[in-house]
Amino acid sequence: MLAWKWWRDCRGRVLLYFGAAIAIGVFSALDATTYNWWMDNYRVDPQRYQFYVFLAWSRISYGLVSSVLYGAVWTGLVLAISSAGRDYASAGVSFLLTRPQRRSAMLWVDFGFAVCTVAIAGVLLEGSAIAVAARVLPSIRTVELLGLLPTLVAVAAAVYGVTIFWTVVTRSAAKGIELSVATMVTVSLVPGAILEWWHIAWPEAIQGWMLKMFDWRPAYSYWIFHVHPRTPVGHTAIRRYIIYADDYRPMIYRSLEPYPIAELAIWIGLALALVYASQKILEYREV
Amino acid sequence: MSELAIRTENLVKHYGNTKAVDGLTMSVPRGSIYGFLGRNGAGKTTTIKSLLGLARANGGEASVLGYDIQREHLQVLQHTGFVSENKALFDNLTGDEMVRFNRGYFPTWSDKHVERYRKLFETPMDVPFGKLSLGNKTKVCLLLAMSQGAELLILDEPTSGLDPVAIDILMEVLIDDHVSEGRTVFMSSHQLAHVQKIVEWVGIIDHGRILLEARLEDVRQNYRVITAAGIETAARLSRPEIVGRRHSAKFWRYLVSRDSESVASELRQRGMAVSDVSPCGLEDVFLGVVRKEEDHAGVEVVA
C-alpha cells in the first residue's frame, strides 16, 4: 500500500527525473565528443591522442559531476516532501497513522524508494553518457566514471534525510524545505568562515575533518580534476601540456585519489541517522 | 472475548497544564451504538485519539476490543474503523484511489460495501479529495471506514456537513450493516437529535470526565426534570439521585436519575413549591448534567 502510494504520488516526478537524466547524459557526451574530428588529426600520435581522449572523458565527467550534484540535492529535497513528507505535514496524517502498520515502515519505505529513484536516475545518466561517448571515443575510465554513482546516491540520501527530519520536526513541508536549504548553506559556510574569516586555530585533524565532512561535494566529484594541482607544474598543467609537453602519459594515469569510501560512509551514515531520528519522532508523534 | 468493545479506567491525558482527559472511566458494550456526547473541548476527540494511539495517555488504562491500547496498538487499528473529526485524508487522491490504498490493510475489506455506500450516499469517487465539499469528504471518510468490515466503528462527528437525507441514510446503515451484525458503533457528536434516534447507550463527558453513562432507554424511563421555586437554602438539597441542578431567575431545575417523586416530596418538605415533574429527553439530560452549577458528581451508571 505504501509502495503503491509512493508511486502514485511521485510517478510524475520520477519519470521526469529519468527522462532528464538520459537527456543530460546524452548531451554531456555529445558536448564532450564534439571535437572528435579534431582529435582524429592526432591519431598518428598515439600518446597525444590518448591524452585528448582522456580530456574528453574528463569533460564528460565534469558535466556529469555538475548535474549530478545539483540533481542529487534537488531530488533529495523534492522527494522528501513528495509523499510521506507531505502527508506527515498535512491534516491527513491522522488517517495515515491509523492504518494498521508500523510507523517505522512508513518512513523507510519512502526513503528506500527515493534512494532507488536517485540510483536509477544516476545509472541512466551515466549509462546514457557512456553509451553515447563510447561510440565515438575509445573506452577508457568508464568504470571510474561509474564511481560517481554512489556519491550521487549518498548526497541525495543525506539531503533527503535533512529535509524529512525538518519536515517531521516542524510538521510542515514548506518549513522542511526552508530549513533543509538553510542547513546546507550553513554547514557549507560555517567551517570555511571559521577557518578563513575568524582564523580560529583548531587542531588540524578536526579542521580538516570538518571541511571534508561538511563539504556538500564529496571529494570524488573532484577526483579527476584533482590531477591538476598534483602535477609538478601546478594548476595550469593541462593547458601547458596540450601546447608544449611531449609526454602526456604521467598526467593521465598518476595522481588519482583513492576512492573516498570513508567519506561516502559518513554521508550515508548521516542520511540513515537523520531518517532514523525522523522515524523515532514519528513513532512518538501525537496528532 | 471481552464483553466490552471499549473500556477505560481513570484514563488521563494532559497537554502541559491542561487536563484534556482527567480520569475518564467508560464502558462501551459490544454490539451497541454508544453516543459519546460533550461540549466543545470536553475531551471527546482527545479520548478517541488516545484510544487509537494518536495521543499517548499519561495515566490510567484502556482497552479496545480487549486489546490494550498501548501494547496491542496494531490489533486495535486492524479491527477498528475510524472517521476523524477533521475529515482529512490525502488531498491529491480520489475516493477510488483511497479505496485502492486502504483495501490492502484490512482482510475483511468489502468492495461490495464500497459500491453500496457509493450509490447510497451518491459519493463522488473520481474527484481529488481536496476538491470535495465537507459533506462529500465526510461521505468518503464514512465509506472507507464502513467498508473495512471492522468490529468497531469510531466516528468523531460523523454527520459534519451531511444533508438530512444523508444523515438519515447513515443512521439506517449503521443499524442495518453494523449493529445488526454484532458490531459496535462509538460515535461522538453534538447533534443530539440525530444521536438519540439510534444510540442505545450515552456517555456524557465534560472537562475530561464522564459525568453520566447510561442506557438511553433507562434515561427515558427514569430521568425526570423537577421544576421548583423557593429560597436557596431550601433548594440546596443534596441526594445521590440529583444528577444536576440549575437556577434561573425564579426557578430551580433538578435533573433526577430516579425516585423523582421522593425527591419532589422532600423538596416540598423543605418549603419549595414544586411546579412540575416531567420526563426528559436526551437534550434535557445533557443540558442538566453539563450546565449544572455544582462541581461534577462522580460517574453515574444507571444500567
pLDDT (tens digit, 9 = 90+) per residue, A84-122? 767 777 778 888 889 998 888 888 888 898 899 988 988
Domain for residue A94, yes or no? yes
Rounded to a whole number of angstroms, the distance from the CA of A126 to the nearest CA of chain B is 34
- Taking contacts as CB-CB distances below 8 angstroms, the residues of chain A near B49 are 94, 286-287
Domain for residue A277, yes or no? yes
Domain for residue A195, yes or no? no
In this structure, the strands spanning B242-247 and B209-215 are unpaired
Q: How many domains does chain A have?
A: 1
Which stretch of A123-137, A197-211, B226-240 has the lowest confidence by average pLDDT?
A197-211
What is the pLDDT at residue A102?
85
- Selected residues 85-104 of chain B with any CB under 8 Å from a CB in chain A: 86, 88-93, 97, 100-102, 104
Contact criterion met (CB < 8 Å) for B86 and A94 = yes
Domain for residue A190, yes or no? no
Contact criterion met (CB < 8 Å) for A98 and B90 = no
Contact criterion met (CB < 8 Å) for B53 and A98 = yes
Task: Tell me: ipTM over 0.85.
Answer: no
Rounded to a whole number of angstroms, the distance from the CA of B52 to the nearest CA of chain A is 7
Domain for residue A254, yes or no? no
Contact criterion met (CB < 8 Å) for A99 and B86 = no
Domain for residue A151, yes or no? yes
What is the pLDDT at residue B94?
93
pTM: 0.79
Distance CA B6, CA A37 (A): 81
- Residue environment code for B129-154, b if the CB has 16+ CB neighbours within 10 A, otherwise e: beebeebbbbbbbbbbbbbbbbbbbb
DSSP code string of A41-109: TTTTSHHHHHHHHHHHHHHHHHHHHHHHHHHHHHHHHHHHTTSHHHHHTSTTHHHHHTSSS-HHHHHHH
Distance CA A9, CA A1 (A): 12
Domain for residue A73, yes or no? yes
Contact status of B53 with chain A (Cβ, < 8 Å):
yes
Instruction: Please give the grid coordinates belonging to residue A17.
Output: 527525473
Domain containing residue A143: 2-180+259-283
Instruction: Please give the grid coordinates belonging to residue A72.
Output: 542529487
Domain for residue A238, yes or no? no
pLDDT (tens digit, 9 = 90+) per residue, A135-177? 777 665 566 677 778 878 888 888 889 988 998 898 888 888 8
What residue of A is the nearest CA neighbor of B148? A99
Of B221, B219, B158, B140, the closest CA to residue B194 belongs to B158
The HSE-up count of residue B278 (CA atoms within 13 Å, CB side) is 9
Distance CA A237, CA B244 (A): 94
Of A183, A10, A22, the closest CA to residue A80 belongs to A10
Which of A101, A281, A286 should one mutate to test binding to chain B, selecting the residue with the greatest count of B CBs within 10 A?
A286
Any idea what DSSP says for residue B278? Answer: E
Q: Tell me phi and psi for residue B59, to 5 degrees.
A: -170, 170
